[in-house]
Amino acid sequence: MINWENLDKLESFKKLQSLRNLVSVQQELAGTGGAERVAKYAVPMSAGLTYNYAAKQINTQLLTVLQALSDEAQLVQKFEALYNGDVINTGEKRKVLHHLVRGQLGKDVEYDGKNARAFYKAQQDAIAAFAGNVHDGKITNAKGEKFTTVIQIGIGGSDLGPRAMYLALEQWARAHGTLKMNAKFISNVDPDDGAGVIASADLAHSLFILVSKSGTTQETLANELFVKDFLSKAGLDPAKHMIAVTSETSPLANNPAYLASFYIDDFIGGRFSSTSAVGGAVLSLAFGSAAFADFLTGAHEADVSAKNADITKNAALLDALIGLYERNVQGYPATAILPYSQALSRFPAHLQQADMESNGKQVNRRGEPVAYATGPVIFGEPGTNGQHSFYQLLHQGTDIVPLQFVGFLDNQSGKDVTVDGSTSQKKLCANLAAQIVAFACGKQDTDPNKNFPGGRPSSLIYGKTLTPESLGALLAHYENKIMFQGFLWNLNSFDQEGVQLGKKLTKQVLSGGTDGALKAFANIFGI
């Protein structure tokens, strides 16, 4: 039987609280034992990735308590209940099935007389067939010409994840000759967003993907009409240039206004939808269905490893537990995601939503207030850009911010140049290695302005190169980390009521039914 208890009711958490500031790794990493520590505190992941936590404030004593916490909180059992189809989203009384879109982890999940895995696989097959027909010129524009660009219209999880995944693989696809179509994205209801994308596109050869699970998302539908207006004025039939990704019950389903419709259901949350049809359509059109299949394989392999109850062999679970120790015992308020890969330029923005929308909660699964901190603030920027931006605060600011580095031995394009005895990729990796040690060890100086206190904990996920498979594994790692932390805090990580109030007030403003401060602020903008 699974017990959904608050974190502060667990005996192992009380033990963990007594271990605040237990470990300092500064001297160990700076001394002769540093290499041994780096080798010891590493966990192999799937798709050739490794999670290294040698620069975290962790030792074997803490690992023992974290293992006990994982066992007492029944984290692996809760994950099993989730992928076997229990109603884990208590706020909306829904299953949580994004793991199932990329492979079977447990027993069959049935609902409304439907096998969920079979449904998701059928959508993947339909998208693959459609993408193949587009690439082969069997589906064309009105003049029989091939589509060369795909443009996704969506917001939130319908934009952030798919956009980040496309950018992550664009240069890989170019280098491997598998870039089938360029992709662009329209998300913001600000008309300058849509206008800018349209101005950069060849409309006659552009295929648009409208993504809205409900078919009623205000910003997305506004952008759809914005795009259709441009298409019509260009003498093009919007119905010949647009497909939909939606639910089977939405007004967009089986609608003749679209070339085709592909489906998701209520059990796939937006921020966890990159491996569903939401990401599948744009990524399959851009890179081909084989690349998307490899992406799903990497994610599934990471999901399988997340089933392991041994935290030293389960990178996502260990990452979640260390993050909880940093948030709830060490009292660190934020986490920085720092990919030393330009391909992952939008990955931190995606994780902002995935983490903060999931675990930015102040009540538990039963709607009761919790008496401890929950999700941290997530932010980030690719290296080395961030080094010339916010690293100043990270190194010498008054708050300690845990860091999560991501890096690769090789770049995606295979193109590089040697300057001053080393390639640009070597310089990038040298900066990454240097920053890990600089944050952990610091540097003493008699000049206070040049003194670095150190003691800034970090982890590193690294691999040979960023491919569809390793990207899938990286994405699933963070999705599973977020899930495990939600279980620890006893939250419902799969609803997002925090976005609803603003939507409601926006409709009130647009309908004219406002007064007081709301009316005054609306009047500023002539509404």
Active site residues: 357, 388, 503
Taking the C-alpha atoms of 370, 375, 103 and 69 in order, what is their torsion angle to the nearest 10 degrees?
-60
Q: Which residues contact 80 (CB under 8 A, 6 or more apart)?
A: 106, 307
Structure tokens at 300: 């599934």
For CA atoms 461, 463, 469, 471, the dihedral sign is: positive
Tokens 């062999």 locate to: 313
Query: Contact, 458 vs 440, CB < 8 A?
Result: yes
Based on DSSP, count helices (H) and strands (E) in the chain, helices before strands: 18, 15
Distances (CA, A) of 7 to 13, 57, 321: 7, 21, 12
Q: What is the DSSP-derived secondary structure letter of residue 147? A: P
For CA atoms 343, 97, 316, 380, the dihedral sign is: positive
Distance (Å, rounded) from C-alpha 271 to C-alpha 264? 13
Distance (Å, rounded) from C-alpha 111 to C-alpha 104? 16
How buried is residue 362: exposed, middle or buried, by Cβ count under 10 Å (0-12/13-18/19+)?
exposed
Distance (Å, rounded) from C-alpha 13 to C-alpha 135? 54
Give the gyration radius of the chain's Cα atoms.
24
Distance (Å, rounded) from C-alpha 163 to C-alpha 432? 25
Distances (CA, A) of 158 to 198, 275, 504: 19, 11, 20
**Interior/surface letters 262-274, b for 16+ CB within 10 angstroms, e for the rest:** bbbbbbbbbbbbb
Distance (Å, rounded) from C-alpha 400 to C-alpha 327? 11
SS (H, E, C) 70-85: HHHCCHHHHHHHHHCC
